[in-house]
Structure 1
Amino acid sequence: MCHGAQEIEKISVTGTRIKRSIQADSPSPISSIDAKTLSYIGANDVRDLIETLSFNAGAQNNSDNLTQNFTVGTSNVNLRGLGVSSTLVLLNGRRQVTSAVVTDQGASFVDTASLIPTLAIKRVEILKDGASAIYGSDAVAGVVNFISRDDLIGSELQYEYRNRLSEGSQDETKIDFAYGAEIGNTGHLLFAASYLERTSLVLGEVDWVQPAFSSFGNPGSFVIPSLANGQNPTGLTVADPNCEQNGGVESEGSNGNTFCLFDFAPQITAVPNEDRLQVYMHAKWELNTGIEPWFEAGFADNDISREVSPSFPVLNAPSVLSSHPNNPYDEDIFFRGRPFGVGKPTERNFYEHRTSRVAFGVDGSIGSNKYWQVSYVSAQNDAFLNPRDVLADNFQSALYGFGGVNCDNRADPVAGTGSCLYFNPFSPQDSVNEQLRSYIIGDYIGNVKSTLRVFEGVFAFDELFAIGDDYSALAIGIQYRKESITSVYDSLTQQDRFAFLIGNQNVSGERNVKALFSELRLPLMAKFELGLAIRYEDYGDLGGDTTDPKLSVLWHLSPDLSFRGSYSTSFRAPSVHQLKGVQTNFANITDPRDGSTTFGGNRTVGDASLVPETSEAFNFGISYAFDTLDIDVDYWRFSFEEVLTRESHQAVVNAFPDDPNRVVRTSAGTISIVNTRFINAEAIDTSGVDLTAMYHFDMHFGRVTPQLSASYLLEYDLMDESGTVTDGLGKLNRNTVGNPAPRLKGSMGINWTINGHSANVFFRHVASYENDVSLEKINSFNTIDLQYEMEFNESSILAVSGAITAGVVNITDKAPPFVNIAGSYDPRTGDPRGRRAYLKLKVRF
């Protein structure tokens, strides 16, 4: 602002602590999506928005049984494919608590499904540049800032129904409500609520899923000790003699072993049942003294259930005695399988995620060129985990003939007599087996909690000192954060009593983080601005300390053309979970001894010796805005070192198949648990180009607006802890620290509007890439979305105004590209939901 010019209201823009006149004044690349755009793209929730972002890669938002074990029902953002922990998610510029559950790789993240009802969103600002100097740890790859509405006067009620039009049944009903009102002459109140009811989609309902075989089935296989040899020292594995007769698939393994395979693909849940409630409230007052107190509160509760296999595999290889009445072998053998398999009903697992958040503060001004902010945030996320699994001891007792809830082997010391029953692993349809279900299957119970407390203060000078006809600006601030996790499990889980999920231990830990930061804006010459920011953070004994700078430039060559550039360093300390936590989940494991594959237990232990990951980020961009044409082009590069992740369980098995400290095997030689660690991998180097363009022109039949958004990867190099560099560009990156990295992702769209009518068509594209394990090509994923909307105003017939919207997502019913993994698609890139039609009615009153 030039001295003496008319006062222009300044606003807070994501990526800076210094207020700006317009977002175009930002030297960092920002993408802004307003509420109308959210409606145009047909987004039902935040997950749908994330999926359309060309610069998002590898977010874990498809709730399948394979990649979202305990995080089912959550959603997250993964800017640049640098990991879900590397994107900072804010609500009105302030932090939100991370989810109590972590990804299978041990990464903490903010659950975007718990933030704010859709009708309460004014816009979403996405900073596509490193911002640790401004916001601190977790802003390594960028920032996503959800900004609530502050201009709604009156009420809005919206009903939406979506239905899958492909094979199978899956639908969702959503009701949103928002109310806004003035408080006095200068204040505003917003209240919003949302309820979503979503039914499930199981892959057995789709026609594109391919079999996913486990060598642990029912009918199962048996390890015969008497057939041991040099290649099979614990015994030869043979398929059940009636394998195929009873619905299994017999397969030959290595070294003469045979297996009775079970196809678990039809039981994989691609979309879980969800009942989600969100409530949000924000209030602010502007007092005559220039002081503006504000308050906001939010609550989200999501109840989830999903189908899984009739029972999980039994990894401890229980024994079947020669005395078992159905044992066809003349010796004690080992059972390799699961209690319930072919032809049996699926099991159902239950989860709940509950998030509460309260924030309040005061914004104030001193004169016309100084302002200050003080805020406090208190937030908590609780998760209830209730998968069901085989109780290993009970199943073994049933195989010995002492099964049943009423069996007492002291009163009935003879197996299979009285209330004591035999489980028959040789006949899947034996009626006694089903009687033993409640005895064999138990509840794995976990209650986990994550908390966040943040105090922050900022003081800023809009006009620090004059430089020519302009003024420099300065912001300084402090922040204090307290983060904690608590995990409490039932006694069975703590004792590792389960045959597949194994168990988990109680964990607790906390960390205090102190920060000082400053940002300086220097208009060195007309139309040329230099920005300097620096932040110091101290994590104490759990992460050390760091000082991170950021340098940025903004040069307006003309009113239509500007250049921007930035360089910054970032620092992300290990999460409390990675330092102190214990995580046991299941993973697809191939045993190099015999080539068999199954899901098995993977236990990862926190490591207090982990060091922070560090990174450098560079961005150079050009913006051109002339009349009706807007074009933004950015070249960006990120270089990560000491990347925090979890060891690849498969790499551990391949490297240490006979090390009992890393690969725990049963007496039958089968893998029971793979012990992995949280580690600092070596490096990720990635770069690319972003392009966005929009043009609009008016014709006699309305305004037409073509638009383009695309991200093209130039490199995605991954270095492991041994120093080996892998080119991950255009790869699935299944067994590396990286994420799926298709070279090109983007969308083209056209919007048409006239007199309250609008229509949209979007073509979305994800380029083909390669399965780095099987070396097979993964085809491109191309979908088309259509939408029509009609606004209506209050009239003598209608007492309300509003809009009716109808649309179809993926109108050609494009199936996700086939990937040779369990489930047949890449859940971090493809979308299994198929063609979905929706109808939405909004009324204002």
Structure 2
Amino acid sequence: MMSNNHPKLLSLFCIMAMTTTAYAEVQEQTSIETITVTGSRIKRSVQSESSSPISSTELSDLADIGANDVRDLIEVLPFNAGSQNNSDNLTQNFTVGTSNVNLRGLGVSSTLVLLNGIRQVTSAVVTDQGASFVDTASLVPALAIKRVEILKDGASAIYGSDAVAGVVNFITRDDLEGAEVQYEYRTRWSEGSQDETKIDFAYGGYVGDSAHMLFAVSFLERSSLLLDEVDWVKPATSSFGNPGSFVIPSLADENNPNGLTVADPNCEANGGSVSQSSNDNSFCLFDFAPQITAVPNEDRLQAYARALWDWSDTTRMWAEFGYARNKISREVSPSFPVLNAPSVLVSHPDNPYEEDVFFRGRPYGVGKPTEINYYDHTTSRFAFGVDGEISDGIYWQASFVAAANDALVNPRDVITDNFQAALHGFGGNKCNGTTASEAGVGECYYFNPFDPQDPNNELLRDFIIGDYIGDAESEMRVFEAVITGDSLFEVAGGDVGYAIGIQYRDESITNVYDSFTQQDSFAFLIGNQNFTGERDVKAVFAEVLMPITENLEIGAAVRYEDYGDFGGDTTNPKFSFLWLASDTLSLRGTFSTSFRAPSVHQLQGVQTNFANITDPEDGSTTFGGNRTIGDPDLVPETSEALNLGLTYSYDEYAFDIDYWDFSFEDVLTRESHQAVVNANPNDPTRVIRTSAGTISIVNTKFVNAEAIDTSGIDINASTIYQSDFGDFSPQLTATYLLRYDLMDASGQTTDGLGQLNLNTVGNPSPRLRGSIGLNWSNGIHRANVFIRHVASYNNDVSDESIDAFNTLDVQYSVNMGQVLKGDSETKLTLGVINVTDEAPPYVAVAGSYDPRTGDPRGRRAYAKLQISF
């Protein structure tokens, strides 16, 4: 820590307090509080400049950008790329309703999320790629947030695993006195309908002279948006439809050894479209794009309470409790495809082929009502801690947190055996028939795949469609203790600050499924197996900050973590410098090695989800099951991170620029199901086919197989102009990618820069993301304008260009004083997001847009009323 006998350094710190990479907290001119800022464990008297690149967003900034929740903040961060925050039926099998952070596009598992500097439990469900993440939708109500600090370089030496790409630290309010109520309504101002209502309440105050409490609660009700309601969606077809297709064994040839596939003769008359393949197969296609849910129905409740009190003159205690529950439903296709190609006997009364055939399709398709899938995410958290001062300049702190996330998933799918029974004439919940003579007799019914309008088909819906039910739980317990001081010894520039600490973490996951799901009873989602996994992690860490001269500070940190039998152990250092070159200019730099240990799920879990698969045997593309098994022999992925930055601050002008470089090895990922099929499409252990020859399941595993090298530049600039018409504050923030190289398991390197990276370990990587904003304030009036830009990039699958995405946001607010209540303050805010109603750029994937980059919500208008009293 820099001692207070260096006025030049302290003065420059204060001058730079307004820069976007800085944060300072001074209670009074005569009483300076020692604080800990994200990126360091060492308490400092003033920290308005850091050797690490830090972005700080205040509560007022969230209001200025029109953020309705944390997801809205994440979306506009230029250094965030590839977060899975849009509901996508095809790439979010079980994580719908969650949100996450993906700094630098290095993966949702590579950013550590903290609340008041303490770890959070990971979501019980993982992404389709098997990545674990903290659900930012389950943290705290927006009114409880004081600021969000984002550390944009590797920080494993400080915080441990998962801080590979950086850290996002949500810091709650400790200065609220009184109550705030906020009501917001926003609606889609475009074709289609989608709206949401949000009510927030926060209360804070001092209890006596020694304690402060904060309580906040938030409720969000959000309605859905289907792509059927927008005008930019293009057809997304499946070769498994209804009307369907049929495999005719008697027409087998050398190109089609299991039989020729032919489209239903009434395909087009009943609303389908016919596609012909190169080997004479024809398919009746079903367009499922209109049933894709772009925004799901959500009912979200968040509650948070925190209390701090001074136990003595030198000791402070705190405790906090958090709870969040999000109930989600989304519409999907009328029924999922049936991947096992069930048989239709020659005895079926409507079979026109005079032989046994196989059905390739789904029981309900064109013109039928959509199915509804349900999800329920619940997070609870309790934490407490003690901070104290051992002696002058030496502090200690200890904390404990216990948290759990429970996810109940309930999609609905075709029960394989029941659908087969119905095709054979034994459909119906009251059917007890077992012999051929009883087929289609009494309460036993035939399902008719040759006529979508047959009344028996709808009668059998409850028999054919069943509930896939899974209950996943993730638990975490963390104990941590740290001692920090500002005078380990003295050097030429002043006293050396230090911190030393220990941490113990216990993590576990449990997945339990109903008996049908455990038996792989479903025709599309297949099923899943019960599993449980756990591990504990022990860590020790240390950090020093050394003022070499009055203007030069260097730092070093090191952390050792032991994962026991799962993940081994690892040691990682970090080095930094901060040079105050002049009263207006400072330079900074960091170099670190980082690591990300395999998650408990990647080590011990099982995951089955559907995937788009192209069959090299006949060239057809459809969906199939992808089952991935955890591997206890996985090792941590490792990385090296370099950051060099400059801050210039003069009067009201502030400018920051950072060059960053990340190099990843042994990247943890799931094997590509398509690569497995391409390598050997008839591998009986890895590519499971039906009796009709179609692919039903591809078996993959988690591997340490790939590498990522990426670098870029961050720019932030701001100033303020004062005039008779008010204060004008322009700002610029942008990230420009210089490199995004991806190496696959075979050692082949591809250039992922400016690419969609759909089938790689990478994420979408537009070269430039950024925004230009202007804030105007004049007395009780305030207005904001933001122009946001995402550069064009390329679809590396279809080799088509994806257009740039430019949006305009506007907002006006007025402080209405005590209009609604005496001794209060009332503020009205009106705004429009995406004023010009820009559609997300077209991408040749199902849904017509990239859900990791584009925003399907269109133009949205909102009104917000806030009362403080």
Please indicate, yes or no, whether the TM-score normalized by the shorter chain is above 0.5: yes
Which residue is 2:55 aligned to?
31
Q: Distance in 2 between matches of 1:281 and 1:67?
A: 35
- Are 2:448 and 1:430 equivalent residues in the alignment? no
- Any idea what SS the aligned residue of 2:618 has? coil
- Any idea what SS the aligned residue of 1:639 has? strand
| CA offsets 1:698-738 (integer angstroms, 9 cap, x no match) | 00010000000000000000001100001000000011110
- State the 1:22 CA deviation: 3.5
- State the 1:133 CA deviation: 0.1
- Any idea what SS the aligned residue of 2:754 has? coil
Which residue is 2:547 aligned to?
523
Q: Distance in 1 between matches of 2:830 and 2:820?
A: 25
CA RMSD of aligned residues (A): 1.2
- Are 2:520 and 1:496 equivalent residues in the alignment? yes
The within-5 A match list for 1:248-647 is 248-410=272-434, 413-468=437-492, 470-647=494-671
Which residue is 2:17 aligned to?
none
The within-5 A match list for 1:652-671 is 652-671=676-695
Which residue is 1:651 aligned to?
675
| CA offsets 1:772-825 (integer angstroms, 9 cap, x no match) | 000000000000000001112226975531210000000000000000000000
What's the TM-score, normalizing by structure 2?
Answer: 0.96
Q: Distance in 1 between matches of 2:658 and 2:618?
A: 50
- Any idea what SS the aligned residue of 1:85 has? coil
Question: 2:767 touches 2:793 (CA, 8 Å); kept in 1?
Answer: yes
Aligned letter for 1:363?
A: D
Q: Percent identity?
A: 70
- Any idea what SS the aligned residue of 2:109 has? helix
Which residue is 2:698 aligned to?
674
Which residue is 1:92 aligned to?
116
| CA offsets 1:357-412 (integer angstroms, 9 cap, x no match) | 00001000123301100000000000001000000000000000000000001499
| CA offsets 1:121-155 (integer angstroms, 9 cap, x no match) | 00000000000000000000000000000000000
Q: 1:748 aligns with which of 772, 775, 779?
A: 772
What's the TM-score, normalizing by structure 1?
Answer: 0.99
- State the 1:571 CA deviation: 1.3
- Are 2:716 and 1:698 equivalent residues in the alignment? no
Which residue is 1:133 aligned to?
157
- Any idea what SS the aligned residue of 1:281 has? strand
- State the 1:25 CA deviation: 3.1
Which residue is 1:165 aligned to?
189
Q: Distance in 1 between matches of 2:434 and 2:708?
A: 61
Q: Distance in 1 between matches of 2:719 and 2:523?
A: 59
- Are 2:160 and 1:143 equivalent residues in the alignment? no
| CA offsets 1:606-632 (integer angstroms, 9 cap, x no match) | 111211100000000000111101111
Q: Distance in 2 between matches of 1:236 and 1:374?
A: 69
- State the 1:839 CA deviation: 0.2
Which residue is 1:111 aligned to?
135
| CA offsets 1:142-198 (integer angstroms, 9 cap, x no match) | 000000000000000000001001111100000000000102213210000000000
Question: 1:712 touches 1:745 (CA, 8 Å); kept in 2?
Answer: yes
- Are 2:241 and 1:217 equivalent residues in the alignment? yes
- Any idea what SS the aligned residue of 2:327 has? strand
Question: 1:161 touches 1:839 (CA, 8 Å); kept in 2?
Answer: yes
- Any idea what SS the aligned residue of 1:664 has? strand
- State the 1:592 CA deviation: 2.0
Gaps of 5+ in 1: none
- Are 2:106 and 1:82 equivalent residues in the alignment? yes
Change (3 A) 1:42 1:3: closer
Q: Distance in 1 between matches of 2:811 and 2:679?
A: 52
Question: 2:153 touches 2:641 (CA, 8 Å); kept in 1?
Answer: yes
Which contiguous aligned blocks of 4+ residues in structure 1 show a shift greater than 4 angstroms?
Answer: 3-7, 410-413, 795-799
Change (3 A) 1:411 1:336: closer
Question: 1:412 touches 1:420 (CA, 8 Å); kept in 2?
Answer: no
- State the 1:329 CA deviation: 0.4
Change (3 A) 1:662 1:58: same
Which residue is 2:16 aligned to?
none
Question: 1:474 touches 1:518 (CA, 8 Å); kept in 2?
Answer: yes
Question: 2:35 touches 2:43 (CA, 8 Å); kept in 1?
Answer: yes
Q: 1:822 aligns with which of 846, 849, 856?
A: 846
Question: 1:3 touches 1:469 (CA, 8 Å); kept in 2?
Answer: no
Q: Distance in 1 between matches of 2:240 and 2:706?
A: 36
- State the 1:23 CA deviation: 3.6
- Are 2:254 and 1:226 equivalent residues in the alignment? no
| CA offsets 1:56-96 (integer angstroms, 9 cap, x no match) | 00000001101111000000000000000000000000000
Q: Distance in 2 between matches of 1:795 and 1:315?
A: 63
Aligned letter for 2:837?
A: D
Which residue is 2:11 aligned to?
none
Q: Distance in 1 between matches of 2:501 and 2:846?
A: 49
| CA offsets 1:35-70 (integer angstroms, 9 cap, x no match) | 000000000000000000000000000011011110
Question: 1:374 touches 1:456 (CA, 8 Å); kept in 2?
Answer: yes
Question: 2:241 touches 2:337 (CA, 8 Å); kept in 1?
Answer: yes
Question: 1:610 touches 1:680 (CA, 8 Å); kept in 2?
Answer: yes
Gaps of 5+ in 2: 7-29
Q: Distance in 2 between matches of 1:681 and 1:596?
A: 28
Question: 2:513 touches 2:528 (CA, 8 Å); kept in 1?
Answer: yes
Q: 1:244 aligns with which of 262, 268, 278?
A: 268
Question: 2:566 touches 2:633 (CA, 8 Å); kept in 1?
Answer: no
Aligned letter for 1:243?
A: C
Question: 1:532 touches 1:549 (CA, 8 Å); kept in 2?
Answer: yes
Q: Distance in 2 between matches of 1:238 and 1:379?
A: 54
- State the 1:286 CA deviation: 1.5
- Any idea what SS the aligned residue of 2:554 has? strand
Q: Distance in 2 between matches of 1:412 and 1:665?
A: 28
Q: Distance in 2 between matches of 1:570 and 1:797?
A: 53
Q: Distance in 2 between matches of 1:830 and 1:510?
A: 36
Which residue is 2:126 aligned to?
102
Aligned letter for 2:99?
A: S
| CA offsets 1:411-445 (integer angstroms, 9 cap, x no match) | 99521001100000000010000000000000000
Question: 2:100 touches 2:135 (CA, 8 Å); kept in 1?
Answer: yes
- Any idea what SS the aligned residue of 2:785 has? strand
Aligned pairs, number: 845
Q: Distance in 2 between matches of 1:653 and 1:740?
A: 24
Aligned letter for 1:420?
A: C
- State the 1:7 CA deviation: 6.1
